[in-house]
């Protein structure tokens, strides 16, 4: 079961982030315009915004186990289609991949909630670490895989279809083994499709949309996503403007992803203690603010800034998803909270890089956008404080 959860988590990141490293090769081969090329990276985000809100309904119709299997199968199919000859296949496969990754992404916290059996800290840690490990794998291995296969981009994009495919195999095998056990039968009953036609009105998306605590969790995750996608997009350019070579900028950017892995793993574990959970909700965004501020005032300290960014982003991811899992009262409730928070988060994540670039263009430098986004990160600390003050009992330590 641990292997299936890890592969599910890697499916959320590896196939979609693998496009970035081979984008120049795709451009040279297809001669697509920069605008069309950008759709290869923003298309999955658009799919997420469109698909995520209906996932709780799909879960009620099909059940958690079936829908996860369908999402993994669809993700593998989309990754393969994307690598086939022709720009139509490239575009169509990207959209198929984006839709099914969106389904899997919304359901992943529900899977953690369902499998955690009241003690989800380790599974949440595995999940959040996988969210940080995935981009690092894609960034570090996609180009070497292409070189080894003699195919600059189609080969490695097809190879990454193995991640959801292996995840599907592990998922089906794990649930086949559990079906004969009493625990497995109870879980299947709890996660199967609704047969009575009634909706879980106490935990549905409509109820979640009216829950102030859920909106605070949504805001926390949205600001985490904003910082992650903005720095992922612009950090190499900021480093280059500060005097780093392209090779050094790439290496320093990789440091951010690597540092985020242990941070995102440790935070859910540390959050088991009430005092640790309270402190981490408030303090996790602070290193992000410090890293961005350091790049603004002392760009020569870029490596230290990258370490701080990785630490803060990894910790914030760990806090955000721990909040979702611990706040959820049931598996359907976890899916509803995840749907709302991730839809808003991805929307804000798409706006962030554009806003950062517009600030740079308008001011002619990087200091102002860095300062603005550092201030936003500090604002996230206030959201963590509000979570603590408003819902001391609503969000429980894992």
User: How high is the pLDDT of residue 34?
Assistant: 73
199: pLDDT strictly greater than 80: no
User: How high is the pLDDT of residue 393?
Assistant: 43
User: How high is the pLDDT of residue 93?
Assistant: 96
Cβ proximity of 111 and 187 under 8 Å: no
What is the distance between the alpha carbons of residues 139 and 305, in angstroms, rounded to a whole number? Answer: 20
Two tokens at 92? 């169509």
Q: How confident is the model at residue 179 (pLDDT cuts 50, 70, 90)?
A: low
Domain boundaries, the chain: 2-191, 205-390
Q: Is the dihedral of CA 113, 118, 119, 121 positive or negative?
A: positive
User: How high is the pLDDT of residue 201?
Assistant: 46
What is the distance between the alpha carbons of residues 356 and 394, in angstroms, rounded to a whole number? Answer: 35
- Residue matched to tokens 């909106």: 215
Q: How confident is the model at residue 398 (pLDDT cuts 50, 70, 90)?
A: low
- Nearest CA to 373 among 235, 176, 206, 175? 235
Q: What is the mean pLDDT of residues 202-209?
A: 71
318: pLDDT strictly greater than 60: yes
Tell me the pTM.
0.84
Cβ proximity of 91 and 39 under 8 Å: yes
Two tokens at 396? 């429980």
Superfamily name and number for 205-390:
MFS general substrate transporter like domains (1.20.1250.20)
User: How high is the pLDDT of residue 317?
Assistant: 94
Do the domains 2-191 and 205-390 sit in the same CATH topology, yes or no? yes
Cβ proximity of 96 and 85 under 8 Å: no
- Which H, E and C letters describe the chain, residue by residue? CHHHHHHHHHHCCHHHHCCHHHHHHHHHHHCCCHHHHHHHHHHHHHHHHHHHHHHHHHHHHHCHHHHHHHHHHHHHHHHHHHCCCCHHHHHHHHHHHHHHHHHHHHHHHHHHHHHHCCCCHHHHHHHHHHHHHHHHHHHHHHHHHHHHHCCCCHHHHHHCCHHHHHHHHHHHHHHHHHCCCHHHHHHHHHHCCCCCCCCCCCCCHHHHHCCHHHHHHHHHHHHHHHHHHHHHHHHHHHHHHCCCCHHHHHHHHHHHHHHHHHHHHHHHHHCCCHHHHHHHHHHCCHHHHHHHHHHHHCHHHHHHHHHHHHHHHHHHHHHHHHHHHHHCCCHHHHHHHHHHHHHHHHHHHHHHHHHHHHHHHHHCCCHHHHHHHHHHHHHHHHHHHHHHHHCCCCCCCC
**pLDDT tens digit string along 3-36?**
999 999 999 999 998 888 888 889 889 988 877 7
**pLDDT tens digit string along 227-281?**
988 888 788 889 988 888 877 887 888 889 899 999 999 999 998 888 888 899 9
200: pLDDT strictly greater than 90: no
**pLDDT tens digit string along 352-381?**
888 998 999 899 999 999 999 999 999 999
**pLDDT tens digit string along 280-307?**
999 999 999 999 999 999 999 999 999 9
184: pLDDT strictly greater than 60: no
The SS3 of residue 197 is coil
196: pLDDT strictly greater than 70: no
195: pLDDT strictly greater than 70: no
127: pLDDT strictly greater than 90: yes
Cβ proximity of 291 and 391 under 8 Å: no
Cβ proximity of 168 and 69 under 8 Å: yes
DSSP structural state of residue 37: H
**pLDDT tens digit string along 72-104?**
999 999 999 999 999 999 999 999 999 999 999
Q: What is the mean pLDDT of the chain?
A: 87
* CA dist list (Å): 226 to 106, 129, 367: 18, 18, 18
User: How high is the pLDDT of residue 101?
Assistant: 96
Q: How confident is the model at residue 327 (pLDDT cuts 50, 70, 90)?
A: confident
Q: How confident is the model at residue 346 (pLDDT cuts 50, 70, 90)?
A: confident
Cβ proximity of 101 and 44 under 8 Å: yes
Q: Is the dihedral of CA 338, 123, 226, 17 positive or negative?
A: negative
What is the distance between the alpha carbons of residues 124 and 321, in angstroms, rounded to a whole number? Answer: 7
User: How high is the pLDDT of residue 198?
Assistant: 38
Pick the CATH number of 2-191 from 1.20.1250.20, 3.40.720.10, 3.30.565.10, 1.20.120.530: 1.20.1250.20
214: pLDDT strictly greater than 50: yes
């Amino acid at each position: 079961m641990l292997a299936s959860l890890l592969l599910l988590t890697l499916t959320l990141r590896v196939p979609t982030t693998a496009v970035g490293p081979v984008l120049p090769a795709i451009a040279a081969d297809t001669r697509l315009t920069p605008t069309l090329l950008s759709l290869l990276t923003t298309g999955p985000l658009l799919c997420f915004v469109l698909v995520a809100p209906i996932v709780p309904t799909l879960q009620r119709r099909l059940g958690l186990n079936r829908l996860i299997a369908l999402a993994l199968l669809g993700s593998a199919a989309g990754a393969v289609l994307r690598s086939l000859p022709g720009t139509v296949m490239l575009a169509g496969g990207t959209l198929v991949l984006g839709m099914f990754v969106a389904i899997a992404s919304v359901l992943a916290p529900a899977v953690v909630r369902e499998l955690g059996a009241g003690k989800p800290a380790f599974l949440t840690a595995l999940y959040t670490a996988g969210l940080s490990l995935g981009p690092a794998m894609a960034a570090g291995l996609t180009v070497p895989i292409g070189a080894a296969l003699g195919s600059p981009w189609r080969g490695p994009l097809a190879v990454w279809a193995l991640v959801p495919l292996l995840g599907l195999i592990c998922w089906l095998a794990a649930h086949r083994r559990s079906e004969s056990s009493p625990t497995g039968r109870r879980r299947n009953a709890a996660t199967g499709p609704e047969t009575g036609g009634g909706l879980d009105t106490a935990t549905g998306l409509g109820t979640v949309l009216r829950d102030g605590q859920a909106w605070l969790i949504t805001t926390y995750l949205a600001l985490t996503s904003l910082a992650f996608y903005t720095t992922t997009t612009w950090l190499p350019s900021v480093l280059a403007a500060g005097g780093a070579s392209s090779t050094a900028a790439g290496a320093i950017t990789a440091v951010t992803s690597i540092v985020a892995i242990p941070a995102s793993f440790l935070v859910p574990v540390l959050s088991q203690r009430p005092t640790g959970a309270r402190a981490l909700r408030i303090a996790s965004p602070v290193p992000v603010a410090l890293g961005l501020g350091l790049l603004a005032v002392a760009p020569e300290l870029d490596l230290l800034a990258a370490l701080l960014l990785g630490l803060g982003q990894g910790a914030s991811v760990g806090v955000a998803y721990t909040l979702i899992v611990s706040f959820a009262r049931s598996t359907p409730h976890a899916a509803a909270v995840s749907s709302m928070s991730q839809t808003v988060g991805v929307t804000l994540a798409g706006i962030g890089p554009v806003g950062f670039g517009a600030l740079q263009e308008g001011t002619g430098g990087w200091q102002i956008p860095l300062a603005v986004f550092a201030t936003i990160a500090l604002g996230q600390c206030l959201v963590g404080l509000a979570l603590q003050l408003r819902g001391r009992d609503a969000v429980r330590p894992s």
